[in-house]
């Protein structure tokens, strides 16, 4: 078999930019092309075989990321013993085949075809913004076509108006050669099926939807059609406005946990476009609207690029130099410690910053602050994943690479909405589903995957919010009681004692689908069918998200998921596994880097003397053995008056954390709040020191995505404020008297590798060579570990934890009869600080309340009405959207806009093991109202006042 590894593929890509048709794997076939002996895998096209031998056959409709289509007829070749001139892109190689790619006759035929194209195309190459980046131009030049015998574009091309409705790209039908690449990219890669070709022959025309504009159609602005267009028909507006890029820097998206690789393409210091990297191992050349287009926030006028300080939050900001800001901050923090004790300050690391930056913040807290009061936003998203997977499997991370899903036969998606939150993974998943894999969706809401073009979930188990544990137990109950376990796997791979105990527990009648039906709302018969489907699949994979973790029993559900995977033998190979879809770009990394108060980098407990000794020797300090405060503990301690100083890097806790009013009280209670960020975010309005942050385009480092993949972030432009975030933390630590001296983030990574066994083999040279590395990367796995737990679990034998269902306190009552659950939307990201400052707001400009028409009618609520949403914690007002996407009794909103106050109503209930907030279940009442809530009015007034104080500083 001819098999290609990533390195081979990179070598091939380097030889020729586009190989014409996709790579194939199969038995070797020998042939000659232009007299040259060539050996390729069976199924390879003649075009690709030629390309792999370094012979370029002209092409227009073919590209190596799409299966061949054979529409343009430019790639004709001669094959000994065959009549005519077959298209090389659609002709597969055969043993002994003799191919000629260059001859006078082929030249003539190709020129003829290209002349036809040119006759229907504007001849404005010199003034065209694609000049130099147009495949039609390249082919015409290579064939010496300078004019057309068919009219030379004398009005022959279509005078249809360009579609400029999309904020990021435009479509000019006049430039279109109807090669179908865009249509195929939308269908095969993105899976949205938004484009068609209308009409026939010369009248044929690409159109979005049913002759709609791109904005009116189902298009989700992923940009795949733009990437694949060989002409300027589909092109980024930035290229039209500014011109072709002059240089590019390969880096990693700073939005979600998929971690797509991009080429940041620049003209001078202006980033023109982000082009997805075909060699990117997480995304294979695909992207979503956020990473592809929503990068303008990095240079938005709201960026603060001068450090600012003030004594109280009622005073105007004072712009100062970096040195004064560091001295002021260090003095204030030390004074607080003198007055209130060493534990009265702490820090929060960022899941948006690099591994190196996060590592430095936790190091500064432990070494310079002298305590373990460090935490990260994973506290409020995936901390239960860490706890649950560590307990059962021995490692706190997902088990697979994304491409593993291509081998799955059944996929269970639980509490995750990949189409909106992890779109590039969703496209991979959809491709596998179109190939025939079966799908179980477990979600209170009908997410897009349930029924989307060419995809229909076998089961949508619309469980009630708060019933995850009852559900996952019922799944395992069916497996165990119907004899569907993988006994061989369990015997070989799992601890026997705990398994037997668990088996007895799970087989209990209270875990049966019939008994849990009244809790979950899932009909027992359907749950049984879903469990049988899952258990009998050769390969069954579980993907889950915050709909699993953000519950009072988040950790229990994660353990239940691991139990289900173990009992069905679905771990340790491709196509299976337990896969948490991480929210933010570096949430995996921030956890890996020791951001939790009880763990040093690599998830090693601070109380372990051997681990502490290692770090003490390297850092030249004495570390405290007891865990520090978690974020909610810090807030409680502030409200109680004994926590007074906080350094927050790249997080917006005032908007993202639950029970906003409690968080605001905590922030107001601080004597020194230091915020390091790009913008004056909601948290910074309560701050005394503002340290300008740097965007991902301005720094070097690494991010770690949801598949444990460490990828390089590379500087494309200079830091707007003069310093990258790691340099700021280093300088602050020095001002506090704890010396740090790194000249480049690679030195920080070298220190991480020295101190963290799972990172021991990671360095920048290797990252540059391999493109990315999935940890663990060490002596045993020098090039990383795509699939975890292959021979045995990290903890040795797998551990079946007992997962008893305990109902949350947050139950629907007569006073609060509806259950509110929250989620994300494709075009906005987290607290929206970045995406709200881009044209993505044209797609989604406010958080709304989704309510079922029955519930709305009962309350006299019509579409678009303002609704008061009241919980035990607070109330807010949102506009109503009536939809049966949510089931009766459940309402749903997003949390991307601060003024909507989604977290004013979420409570401070949290996961029993990790304190992860129970965002996904809040009992509420909803009624029609006519004005904003009291909190919203106060918020607007406070925000206005803080903007004025900022304006004064800037003036």
Is there binding between residue 873 and ligand SF4 (CB under 6 A)? no
**Cα-Cα end-to-end distance for the chain:** 69
Q: Which is nearer to ligand SF4, 830 or 865 (CB)?
A: 830
Q: Which residues contact 908 (CB under 8 A, 6 or more apart)?
A: 632, 658, 659, 662, 873, 917
Contact characters 15-54, ligand FES, x per CB under 6 A:
----------------------------------------
**Residues in region 263-302 near ligand SF4 by CB under 6 A:** 283, 287-288, 290-291
- Minimum distance from CB of 153 to ligand SF4 (Å)? 15
3-class DSSP state of 946: helix
Q: Is the dihedral of CA 488, 490, 492, 498 positive or negative?
A: negative
Among ligand SF4, ligand FES, none, partner that 554 touches (CB below 5 to 8 angstroms by kind): none
Q: Which is nearer to ligand FES, 135 or 550 (CB)?
A: 135
Q: Which residues contact 87 (CB under 8 A, 6 or more apart)?
A: 68, 70, 73, 75, 76, 77
Beta bridge pairs of residue 38:
31
559 and 566 Cβ atoms separated by less than 8 Å: no
Q: How many Å apart are CA 12 and CA 279, to the nearest integer?
A: 11
3-class DSSP state of 851: strand
Radius of gyration of the chain (CA): 29
Q: How many Å apart are CA 499 and CA 487, to the nearest integer?
A: 11
Bond into 776 cis (ω within 30): yes
Beta bridge pairs of residue 927:
868
**Which of 50, 51, 68, 258 is the binder for ligand SF4 (CB under 6 A)?**
258
Is there binding between residue 60 and ligand FES (CB under 6 A)? yes
Which of the ranges 18-26, 110-118, 249-257, 792-800 carries the binding residues for ligand SF4, by CB under 6 A? 249-257
Among ligand SF4, ligand FES, none, partner that 298 touches (CB below 5 to 8 angstroms by kind): none
Number of residues that bind ligand FES (CB under 6 A): 12
Among ligand SF4, ligand FES, none, partner that 255 touches (CB below 5 to 8 angstroms by kind): ligand SF4
Among ligand SF4, ligand FES, none, partner that 89 touches (CB below 5 to 8 angstroms by kind): ligand FES
Is there binding between residue 181 and ligand SF4 (CB under 6 A)? yes
* Pairing of the two strands 875-882 and 848-851: parallel
Instruction: Report the candidate in 340, 939, 317 with the shortest Cα–Cα distance to residue 670.
Output: 340
49 and 91 Cβ atoms separated by less than 8 Å: no
- Minimum distance from CB of 283 to ligand FES (Å)? 25
Q: Which is nearer to ligand SF4, 286 or 528 (CB)?
A: 286
- Minimum distance from CB of 182 to ligand SF4 (Å)? 3
Q: Which is nearer to ligand FES, 89 or 239 (CB)?
A: 89
- Minimum distance from CB of 547 to ligand SF4 (Å)? 18
Cα 268 to chain centroid, rounded: 29
- Minimum distance from CB of 152 to ligand SF4 (Å)? 19
Q: Which is nearer to ligand SF4, 255 or 534 (CB)?
A: 255
- Minimum distance from CB of 267 to ligand FES (Å)? 31
Q: How many Å apart are CA 860 and CA 866, to the nearest integer?
A: 11
Q: How many Å apart are CA 679 and CA 693, to the nearest integer?
A: 8
Q: Is the dihedral of CA 899, 906, 561, 435 positive or negative?
A: negative
Instruction: Report the candidate in 291, 221, 288, 260 with the shortest Cα–Cα distance to residue 402.
Output: 260
Q: Is the dihedral of CA 419, 523, 473, 378 positive or negative?
A: positive
Is there binding between residue 748 and ligand FES (CB under 6 A)? no
**Which of 23, 51, 116, 186 is the binder for ligand SF4 (CB under 6 A)?**
186
Q: How many Å apart are CA 28 and CA 439, to the nearest integer?
A: 35
- Minimum distance from CB of 191 to ligand SF4 (Å)? 9
Q: Which is nearer to ligand FES, 72 or 849 (CB)?
A: 72
Q: Which is nearer to ligand SF4, 255 or 596 (CB)?
A: 255
Is there binding between residue 816 and ligand SF4 (CB under 6 A)? no
Instruction: Report the candidate in 228, 219, 221 with the shortest Cα–Cα distance to residue 278.
Output: 228
Instruction: Report the candidate in 244, 308, 174 with the shortest Cα–Cα distance to residue 954.
Output: 308
Instruction: Report the candidate in 907, 420, 882 with the shortest Cα–Cα distance to residue 659.
Output: 907
Q: Where are the alpha helices (DSSP H) in 482-574?
A: 487-493, 496-506, 513-520, 524-536, 546-549, 554-567
Q: Which is nearer to ligand SF4, 559 or 826 (CB)?
A: 826
Is there binding between residue 151 and ligand FES (CB under 6 A)? no
Number of residues that bind ligand SF4 (CB under 6 A): 42
Q: What is the DSSP letter of 317?
A: P
**Which of 260, 413, 724, 736 is the binder for ligand SF4 (CB under 6 A)?**
260
582 and 503 Cβ atoms separated by less than 8 Å: no
Q: What is the DSSP letter of 445?
A: B
- Minimum distance from CB of 70 to ligand FES (Å)? 4
Which of the ranges 60-68, 444-452, 562-570, 610-618 carries the binding residues for ligand FES, by CB under 6 A? 60-68
**Which of 31, 46, 53, 62 is the binder for ligand FES (CB under 6 A)?**
62
**Which of 206, 672, 724, 867 is the binder for ligand SF4 (CB under 6 A)?**
206
- Minimum distance from CB of 222 to ligand FES (Å)? 24
**Which of 87, 256, 567, 591 is the binder for ligand SF4 (CB under 6 A)?**
256
3-class DSSP state of 57: coil
- Minimum distance from CB of 951 to ligand SF4 (Å)? 32
**Residues in region 68-87 near ligand FES by CB under 6 A:** 70-75, 87
Is there binding between residue 113 and ligand FES (CB under 6 A)? no
Q: Which is nearer to ligand SF4, 76 or 234 (CB)?
A: 234
Residues that bind ligand FES (CB under 6 A): 59-62, 70-75, 87, 89
Please give the residue ranges that form the binding site for ligand SF4 (CB under 6 A). 176-182, 185-186, 190, 192, 194-195, 206, 208, 219-225, 228-231, 233-234, 253, 255-256, 258-260, 283, 287-288, 290-291, 422-424
């Amino acid at each position: 078999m001819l098999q290609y590894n990533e390195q081979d593929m990179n070598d091939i890509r380097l030889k020729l930019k586009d190989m014409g048709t996709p790579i194939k794997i199969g038995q070797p076939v020998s042939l000659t092309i232009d007299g040259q002996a060539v050996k390729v895998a069976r199924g390879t096209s003649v075009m690709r075989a030629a390309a792999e031998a370094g012979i370029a056959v002209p092409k227009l409709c073919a590209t190596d990321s799409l299966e061949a289509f054979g529409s343009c007829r430019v790639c004709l070749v001669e094959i000994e013993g065959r009549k005519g001139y077959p298209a090389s892109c659609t002709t597969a190689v055969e043993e002994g085949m003799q191919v000629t790619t260059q001859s006078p006759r082929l030249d003539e035929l190709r020129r003829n075809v290209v002349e036809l194209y040119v006759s229907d195309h504007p001849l404005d190459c010199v003034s065209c913004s694609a000049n130099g980046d147009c495949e039609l131009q390249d082919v015409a030049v290579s064939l010496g076509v300078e004019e057309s015998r068919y009219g030379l574009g004398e009005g022959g091309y279509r005078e249809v108006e360009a579609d400029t409705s999309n904020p990021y790209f435009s479509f000019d039908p006049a430039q279109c050669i109807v090669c179908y690449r865009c249509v195929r990219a939308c269908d095969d890669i993105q899976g949205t099926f938004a484009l068609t070709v209308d009409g026939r022959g010369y009248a044929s025309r690409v159109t979005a939807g049913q002759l709609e504009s791109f904005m009116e159609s189902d298009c989700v602005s992923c940009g795949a059609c733009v990437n694949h267009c060989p002409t300027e028909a589909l092109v980024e507006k930035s290229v039209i406005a500014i011109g072709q890029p002059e240089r590019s820097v390969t880096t990693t998206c700073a939005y979600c946990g998929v971690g797509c690789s991009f080429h940041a393409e620049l003209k001078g210091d202006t980033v023109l476009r982000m082009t997805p990297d075909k060699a990117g191992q997480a995304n294979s050349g695909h992207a979503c609207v956020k990473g592809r287009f929503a990068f303008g926030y990095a240079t938005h006028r709201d960026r603060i690029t001068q450090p600012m300080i003030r004594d109280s939050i009622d005073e105007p900001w004072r712009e100062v130099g970096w040195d004064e800001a560091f001295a002021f901050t260090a003095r204030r923090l030390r004074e607080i410690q003198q007055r209130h004790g060493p534990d009265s300050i702490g820090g929060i690391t960022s899941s948006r910053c690099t591994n190196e930056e996060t590592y430095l913040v936790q190091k500064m807290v432990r070494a310079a602050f002298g305590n373990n009061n460090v935490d990260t936003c994973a506290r409020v998203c995936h901390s239960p994943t860490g706890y649950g997977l560590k307990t059962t499997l021995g490692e706190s991370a997902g088990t697979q690479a994304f491409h593993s899903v291509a081998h799955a036969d059944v996929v269970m998606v639980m509490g995750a909405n990949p189409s909106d939150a992890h779109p590039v993974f969703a496209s991979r998943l959809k491709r596998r589903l179109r190939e025939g894999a079966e799908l179980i969706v477990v979600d209170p809401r009908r997410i897009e995957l349930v029924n989307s073009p060419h995809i229909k979930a076998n089961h949508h188990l619309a469980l009630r919010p708060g019933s995850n544990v009852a559900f996952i137990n019922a799944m395992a109950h069916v497996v165990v009681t119907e004899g569907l376990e993988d006994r061989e796997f369990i015997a070989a791979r799992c601890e026997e004692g705990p398994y037997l105990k668990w088996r007895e527990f799970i087989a209990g009648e209270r875990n049966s689908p019939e008994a849990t039906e009244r809790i979950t709302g899932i009909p027992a018969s359907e749950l049984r069918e879903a469990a049988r489907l899952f258990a009998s699949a050769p390969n069954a994979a579980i993907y889950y998200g915050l709909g699993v973790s953000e519950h009072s029993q988040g950790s229990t559900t994660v353990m239940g998921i691991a139990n289900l995977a173990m009992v069905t033998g679905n771990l340790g190979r491709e196509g299976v596994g337990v896969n948490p879809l991480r929210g933010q770009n570096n949430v995996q990394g921030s956890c890996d880097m020791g951001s939790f108060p009880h763990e040093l980098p690599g998830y090693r407990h601070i109380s372990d003397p051997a681990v502490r000794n290692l770090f003490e020797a390297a850092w030249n300090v004495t570390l405290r053995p007891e865990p520090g405060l978690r974020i909610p503990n810090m807030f409680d301690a502030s409200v109680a008056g004994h926590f007074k100083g906080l350094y927050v890097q790249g997080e917006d806790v005032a908007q993202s954390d639950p029970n906003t009013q409690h968080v605001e009280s905590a922030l107001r209670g601080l004597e020194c709040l230091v915020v390091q960020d790009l913008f004056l975010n909601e948290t910074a309005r309560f701050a005394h020191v503002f340290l300008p942050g740097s965007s991902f385009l301005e720094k070097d480092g690494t991010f770690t995505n949801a598949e444990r993949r460490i990828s390089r972030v590379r500087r494309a432009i200079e830091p707007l404020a003069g310093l990258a975030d790691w340099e700021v933390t280093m300088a602050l630590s020095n001002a506090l008297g704890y010396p740090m001296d790194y000249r480049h983030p690679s030195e920080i990574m070298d220190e991480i590798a020295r101190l963290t066994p799972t990172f021991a083999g990671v360095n920048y040279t290797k990252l540059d060579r391999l493109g990315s590395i999935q940890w663990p990367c060490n002596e045993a796995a020098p090039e990383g570990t795509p699939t975890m737990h292959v021979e045995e679990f990290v903890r040795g034998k797998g551990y079946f934890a007992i997962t008893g269902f305990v109902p949350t306190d947050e139950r629907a009552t007569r006073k609060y009869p509806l259950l509110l659950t929250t989620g994300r939307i494709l075009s906005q990201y987290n607290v929206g600080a970045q995406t709200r400052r881009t044209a993505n707001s044209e797609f989604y400009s406010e958080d709304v309340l989704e309510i079922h028409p029955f519930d709305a009618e009962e309350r006299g609520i019509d579409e678009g009405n303002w609704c008061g949403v009241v919980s035990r914690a607070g109330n807010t007002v949102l506009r109503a959207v009536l939809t049966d996407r949510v089931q009766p009794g459940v309402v749903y909103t997003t949390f991307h806009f601060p003024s909507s106050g989604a977290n004013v109503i979420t409570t401070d209930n949290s996961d029993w093991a990790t304190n992860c907030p129970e965002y996904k279940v809040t009992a509420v009442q909803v009624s029609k109202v006519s004005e904003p809530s009291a909190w919203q009015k106060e918020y607007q007034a406070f925000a206005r006042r803080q903007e004025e104080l900022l304006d004064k500083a800037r003036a």
